[in-house]
Amino acid sequence: MSARSTARVAIAGNPNTGKTSLFNRLTGANARVGNYAGVTVEREEATWRLPGLDVELVDIPGTYSLAARSGEEQIAVRALFGLDGAPRPQLVVLVVDSTQLVRNLYLALQLAEAQLPFVIALNLADVARKTGIQPDASRVSAAFGVPAVLVSAATGEGLTALGAVVAEALENPPKPMLALAYPQALEADLAGLLPYAEAATPGEARALSLWSILSVEEGDELLGVPVAVRTVVGAIRSRAAIAGRDPDLEIVGTRYRYLEAQDFGAAPPKAGIAFSERVDRVVLHPLSGAALFLVVMTLMFQALFAWSEPAVAMVEQAFSAVGAGLAAILPAGVFTDLVVDGLVAGVGSVVVFLPQILLLFCFIGFLEDCGYMARVAFLVDRMMKSVGLHGRAFVPMLSGYACAVPAIMATRTLERRRDRLLTMMVVPLMSCSARLPVYTLVVATVFADDSEVLGLSTRAVTMVGMYLFSTGMAILAAAVLGRTLLRGPQIPLLLELPPYRMPRLPTVLRQMWLRARAFLTEAGSTILVATVILWGLLYFPRYESPIVDVPASEDVASAAQLEHSYGGRLGQFIEPAIRPLGFDWKIGVGLVGSFAAREVFVATMGVMYGIGDDADEGSTPLRDRMKGETRADGTPLWTPLTGVSLMVFFALSAQCLSTIAVVRRESRSWAWASFLFVYMTVLAWVASLSVYGGGIWLGFR
């Protein structure tokens, strides 16, 4: 067996040029793709097998320029130059959108100036051809002194040729050399800066100096720009300002003049772009755009909230059928209970999220792939930005009303880590559908059917109030966290919108499959383990009734078991902490149990009140027993004040294992998952205390 040689090659290019599609196609890997600027957030790596050669391919985030200004561009620059411990790639494959050559090749020009060895993949050749553009690979190649190949990540054309070019370039690295002549004054500036540039070659030093002039304000930390360079650049800038010059414009202008002077074969105004512009006149119009936006978002929300319901019910029924089947064949005992109530139910509680995850990512997939998602962000950006959130956080926030788990996974559409984290930290405050049964039970218990405020049903008003409250708190939390812990520069939304494209079903399906798989394997295992542990807490130690002769009814026995269990004891143990909120130990046990899923609170109340665990939120006997419950002093426990306090607690607290598990997975950090839990719990406790304490003080009971 001959040893295959390996090489490290980075895939770079502007956002949305098909880098990830190409990466997937070449390596067979399944990185995520989308018609959406900035989808690649973390670095993806996989092997591209060429004849006799393994290429370690790195998919890096899109960047418009080497003058790193945004976080993602900085990651890209780091990867290209091998800064921060990342190994420097031997070769760069620059992916270019063939339909937007001049703008895309700006990056090629910078790579050439920096003398990085690279080859150009003129991607989207299929689209270019359809729109009547004929990119001339040989002229592109001549303009930068590196090979260029027409390819299509969608059809696979040109990929063999690209492989050959890459193999050859690894043998004989292309030496791009491009010395543009900048205006004289700028050349003088450059001459002054050159001695400070620590570079291997004169060409690299020149490129580095140009780059320092453009990006030193923000790029200095990252690029380790020496203090001397910063000082000289500062001097250059102030001198230029006095002379009424703009060095940025001189550099960028010279570069674009060079690009525009080349004849790359880009046809004049293209039908495709004209089409996108015509569509945008409707889609971004204040009236028709807003209407379309409402329709699309309503559809998505409806799908998550209601259409997923039959599938969710099916999953639940399937797992309880499996559980019942196993219970029937296995001998009664601890092991069977573990299998049935712990494992099978636990797996069920993971799988039950799939319908919503699949649906949400189906929507996101189509919206991204056709190009509408970028418009969504555009339409709501101003509103979202006012609370510190990114425009693209809208879809995750909206999904949060259905369930935080898919919503947190949807934060993947955000490019900056800070934006993702901020969204993850506030999405769980949105009133998810699992809180609904709890609210329903509580509202029906503490308010009479015919009770009214201002002529409206008190129950209905309270329910609406809870939704408004949770939305308001989420916005408030975003505003506070976004200005404190997760402060970050507001990056202007790129004004440029991707052209509309026909969404491709395989792309969408693959994304759905990838998300589902990631959830099942990564978050799912955590959720399963946690669910089984929680089951154990409520199951052990076993309770033996002291009265042997008179067998208690099953419901009474399970209430006694629950009370006796570790979880039950925990509920009693925390009673002093929750008493000031108006809760008793039974509610405490309910809070412990609801970690499995918030709606489990209802079933736990059913058990605690001796109705059995199949009680639902509409159960009249359960409500009646709850209404009869009294405190030590004989006053009723379930007053409207207790009810509102409990609902406020449910609205704000993070008692949901799955949410915490998925935040940990998506943030890749236990610290953020713990922070979420702690801040929400504290917030919930303080808010409930204010409600209950304030209510008592005002004379409510």
Binding status of residue 276 toward ligand GDP by CB under 6 A: no
Provide the phi-psi class of 82: left if phi over 0, else alpha when psi is between -120 and 50, else beta: left
Binding status of residue 127 toward ligand GDP by CB under 6 A: yes
Provide φ and ψ at 387, rounded to 5°.
-110, 15
With tokens 């030590």, the residue in question is: 632
Please pick, from the candidates 9, 10, 40, 147, the single residue that binds ligand GDP as defined by CB under 6 A: 40
Per-residue binder mask for ligand GDP (CB under 6 A), 494-513, x = binder: -------x--x--x------
Binding status of residue 247 toward ligand GDP by CB under 6 A: no
**Closest by CA position to 122, among listed 105, 91, 97:** 97
Residues present in the chain in total? 701
Nearer to Mg ion, 97 or 113 (CB): 97
Cβ atoms 115, 176 nearer than 8 A: yes
Binding status of residue 154 toward ligand GDP by CB under 6 A: yes
Binding status of residue 240 toward ligand GDP by CB under 6 A: no
The token pair at 441 is 């039970």
Distance, CA of 92 to CA of 305 (rounded, Å): 45
Q: How far is the CB of 8 from ligand GDP (least distance, A)?
A: 19
Distance, CA of 406 to CA of 424 (rounded, Å): 11
**Closest by CA position to 125, among listed 102, 105, 95, 146:** 95
Cβ atoms 212, 193 nearer than 8 A: yes
Look up residue 543 and give its DSSP letter.
Answer: -
The option from ligand GDP, Mg ion, none interacting with 34 (CB < 5 to 8 A, set by class) reads ligand GDP
Taking CA atoms, 207 is separated from 7, 36, 48, 212, 248, in Å, by: 25, 30, 31, 9, 14
Binding status of residue 19 toward ligand GDP by CB under 6 A: yes
Nearer to ligand GDP, 500 or 601 (CB): 500
Please pick, from the candidates 7, 10, 12, 33, the single residue that binds ligand GDP as defined by CB under 6 A: 33
Query: Using CB under 5 A, which of the segments 38-46, 181-189, 272-280, 683-691 binds Mg ion?
Result: 38-46
The token pair at 80 is 């290209």
Provide the phi-psi class of 13: left if phi over 0, else alpha when psi is between -120 and 50, else beta: left
Binding status of residue 21 toward ligand GDP by CB under 6 A: yes
Nearer to Mg ion, 412 or 435 (CB): 412
The option from Mg ion, ligand GDP, none interacting with 127 (CB < 5 to 8 A, set by class) reads ligand GDP
Query: Using CB under 6 A, which of the segments 8-16, 216-224, 407-415, 647-655 binds ligand GDP?
Result: 8-16
Distance, CA of 652 to CA of 659 (rounded, Å): 13
Quick one: which H or E segment has residue 93?
strand 91-97
The option from Mg ion, ligand GDP, none interacting with 78 (CB < 5 to 8 A, set by class) reads none
Q: 187: how many CB neighbours lie within 10 A of its CB? A: 13
Per-residue binder mask for ligand GDP (CB under 6 A), 338-377, x = binder: -------------------------------x--------
Q: How far is the CB of 32 from ligand GDP (least distance, A)?
A: 7
User: What is the Cα 410 distance to its own chain's centre?
Assistant: 4
Please pick, from the candidates 27, 35, 511, 667, the single residue that binds ligand GDP as defined by CB under 6 A: 35
Please pick, from the candidates 12, 17, 520, 651, the single residue that binds ligand GDP as defined by CB under 6 A: 17
Please pick, from the candidates 39, 300, 403, 644, the single residue that binds Mg ion as defined by CB under 5 A: 39
Q: Give how many residues touch Mg ion by CB under 5 A.
A: 4
Nearer to ligand GDP, 34 or 247 (CB): 34
The 3-state secondary structure of 610-634, one letter per residue: CCCCCCCCCCHHHHHHHHHCECCCC
Taking CA atoms, 372 is separated from 130, 379, 391, 509, in Å, by: 21, 10, 13, 18
Binding status of residue 94 toward ligand GDP by CB under 6 A: no
Distance, CA of 538 to CA of 157 (rounded, Å): 60
Quick one: which H or E segment has residue 591?
helix 585-593
Binding status of residue 20 toward Mg ion by CB under 5 A: yes
Nearer to ligand GDP, 20 or 462 (CB): 20
Cβ atoms 196, 225 nearer than 8 A: no
Binding status of residue 9 toward Mg ion by CB under 5 A: no
Q: How far is the CB of 499 from ligand GDP (least distance, A)?
A: 10
Query: Using CB under 5 A, which of the segments 37-45, 48-56, 273-281, 498-506 binds Mg ion?
Result: 37-45
Binding status of residue 104 toward Mg ion by CB under 5 A: no
Query: Using CB under 5 A, which of the segments 14-22, 129-137, 240-248, 655-663 binds Mg ion?
Result: 14-22
Please pick, from the candidates 79, 124, 300, 508, the single residue that binds ligand GDP as defined by CB under 6 A: 124
Q: Catalog residues that contact Mg ion under the rule CB under 5 A.
A: 19-20, 39-40
Q: Catalog residues that contact ligand GDP under the rule CB under 6 A.
A: 13, 15-21, 33-35, 39-40, 62, 123-124, 126-127, 152-154, 369, 501, 504, 507
